[in-house]
Amino acid sequence: MIEMPVSNATEFTVSELANALKRTLEDRFGFVRLRGEISGYRGPHGSGHAYFCLKDEAAKIDAVIWRGVLARMRIRPEEGMEVIASGKITTFPGKSTYQIVIDSLEPAGIGALMALLEERRRRLAEEGLFDAARKQLLPYLPRTIGVVTSPTGAVVRDILHRIAARFPRRVLVWPVRVQGTASAQEVAAAIVGFNALPADGPIGRPDVLIIARGGGSLEDLWGFNDEAVVRAAAQSDIPLIAAVGHETDWTLIDHAADIRAPTPSAAAEMCVPVRDALLATLADVGRRHRAAARRDLERRRALLRAIGRALPGADDLVALPRQRFDVAGARLTALARANLDRRRILIHRLAGRLAPHSPLARLARLRERLASFSLRLRRSLAVDRAHRRQRFAAIEARRAGARRAHSSLARQHAAARRQRLLQTTARLRPAASAHLARLDARLDHLGKFLNSLGYRQVLARGFALVRDPEGRPLRSAQAQKAGEKLDIEFSDGHLAVTVGEIRPHPAAAAAPRSRRGEPDQSQGSLF
């Protein structure tokens, strides 16, 4: 049998040794500050805690941030970030490893933050989130303005004051925290929430958004450099104005926004125009419109006068017929003379032929006949000439009258249309106002009539309305059965009951039936 050597060394269990090492390490390093690079960070665990490593060129140490501490941190851990971690050293007996439980985390100098910011800006710019083609134009006069900022700071008061002073508009404020670890998530959620509002909903989607915060250090403004905030601003369908910090402060949301304002007050001024200037512009446009209308009326009058002058005169209308008449008269005189000459020659010929055979009496009769024919011919020519003159004079008189009547009718039509336009304009405004007043009075009357006939006024006087399970009003107790469910409505609510015993009303059983045409004396008066 082999004998084991006996030792006086104290025996420890594994747990006792692990706990002793844990206490020794925690007592020796109660609080430390470590500078290193974050490695192996994959975001919070399902439990909400964060697990990763801190390393430098020669070593690394496990690190853990509990869920409550992580929610309060201003700077979120990111892979590759160089930080200064403050906490206490402890051990994890389950793996026989030591680790640091971090209480606070800060970047290792402003240069590290700027390098991280520049790398993030470059990466998002390569994705096209900052392209000018994605920018939207601001509406000239938005109906609703959405503001994402802290509800307790001076920023929201400055924005409301500037909007009310320039042009009062409806403002929706989405309260968020503008500093701390939860700031980025709340700002991104506010932008997405405003875009998710329906345009015709009870609240109404804003026409423009303002993301505002006062000035601060780079760490204070770090939430607006968060990638989630930048992506939400770039994907917003609503035009967005970034007014974060003072004029010299720049964050990544300034690049993704449609417009960057140097201050929150300047953002409010970009949203709405000056109301007084807009009213002055409208008044100037109205004056120019009225002047243009007067010039157009004068132009039409001048055109009408020019058309009147272009119409031919009375002498021009009868000049050609008068000339044709003169030519015809000259030809008629020449033809009459030629005809007379021919007849005279013929008479001379006949006289020469009859001279040897004609007695003096026949010659005298022929002379008388010839003289009578000549006289009739001259009379007929004179009468025909007078008839032609009268016809041409009548034609000229009718044409002159028609011309005067046409000019007078045109002037009357123009005056009547002008007067009708003025009368219609004067009657339109009072008629529209009277019609709207009648509609308002009728609506008010119908509302009062509806209130007077509603059954709820009767319930308010102490009565109740009984309905069967189908919701139909009951008018008789005898038609119901025991055990049925009924609903009784009072002025202040409903009561569900079950029918028990059905008893006839004593007054209804004892009252005699009145004859037709005679009033029932058992019926009491409502008055």
Q: How confident is the model at residue 317 (pLDDT cuts 50, 70, 90)?
A: low
Average pLDDT estimate for 368-383: 88
CATH at 51: 2.40.50.140
pLDDT exceeds 70 at position 359: yes
Output the DSSP codes for 18-80.
Answer: HHHHHHHHHHHTSSEEEEEEEES--S--TTS-EEEEEE-SS-EEEEEE-HHHHHH-SS---TT
Most confident of the following: 35-44, 80-89, 138-147: 138-147
Please check whether residues 203 and 247 belong to one and the same domain: yes
Task: Judge if 154 and 85 occupy the same domain.
Answer: no
Could you tell me which residue, 185 or 461, shows the higher pLDDT? Answer: 185
Give pLDDT tens digits for 466-475: 888 887 888 7
Claim to verify: residue 101 and residue 179 sit in the same structural domain: no
103 and 160 belong to one structural domain: no
Q: Quote the pLDDT of residue 515.
A: 47
Report the pLDDT value the prediction gives residue 316, as an integer from 0 to 100: 66
Could you tell me if residue 134 is inside a domain? no
In the listed set 55, 84, 108, which residue is the last one of a domain according to the structure? 108
- Once rounded to an integer, what is the mean pLDDT over residues 496-521? 61
The answer as to whether 118 is a domain residue is no
Give pLDDT, residue 510. Answer: 52
Q: Report the CATH number at residue 197.
A: 3.40.50.261
Average pLDDT value over all residues in the chain: 82
> Count of domains in the chain?
4
Residue 322 falls inside a structural domain: no
pLDDT digits (tens, 9 = 90+) for 4-48: 565 566 777 877 777 777 777 777 777 888 888 888 888 788 888
The total of other beta-carbon atoms located within 10 Å of residue 153's CB is 15
Q: Is residue 297 part of a domain?
A: no
**What ranges make up the beta strands (E) of 136-284?**
144-149, 170-175, 208-213, 240-244, 259-260
Q: Determine the Cα–Cα distance for residues 54 and 101; give it in Å rounded to an integer.
A: 11
Same domain, yes or no: 155 and 100:
no
Residue 299 lies in a domain: no
100 and 150 both lie in a single domain: no
Q: Is there a single domain that holds both residue 229 and residue 174?
A: yes
Instruction: Determine the Cα–Cα distance for residues 271 and 211; give it in Å rounded to an integer.
Output: 12
Same domain? 192 vs 103 = no
* Cα angle value 118/214/188 (rounded, 5°): 60
pLDDT at 314: 66
Note the pTM of the prediction, 2 decimals: 0.42
Whether residue 479 is predicted with pLDDT greater than 50 in this model: the reply is: yes
Residue 295 lies in a domain: no
Predicted confidence at residue 112, as pLDDT, reads 63
Domain boundary among 245, 273, 301: 273
Q: Both 188 and 81 in a single domain?
A: no
What is the domain range of residue 470? 454-498
Position 518 pLDDT exceeds 60: no
Residues in CB range of 53: below 8 A, 6 or more apart:
38, 39, 40, 60, 61, 62, 63
Q: Rounded CA gap, 382 and 329, in Å?
A: 11
Same domain? 159 vs 86: no
Q: Is 229 exposed, middle or buried (0-12, 13-18, 19+ CB in 10 A)?
A: buried
Average pLDDT rounded to a whole number, residues 160-173:
90
Q: Is residue 203 part of a domain?
A: yes
pLDDT at 185 over 80: yes
Is position 521 within any domain?
no
The answer, yes or no, to whether residue 107 has pLDDT greater than 80, is: no
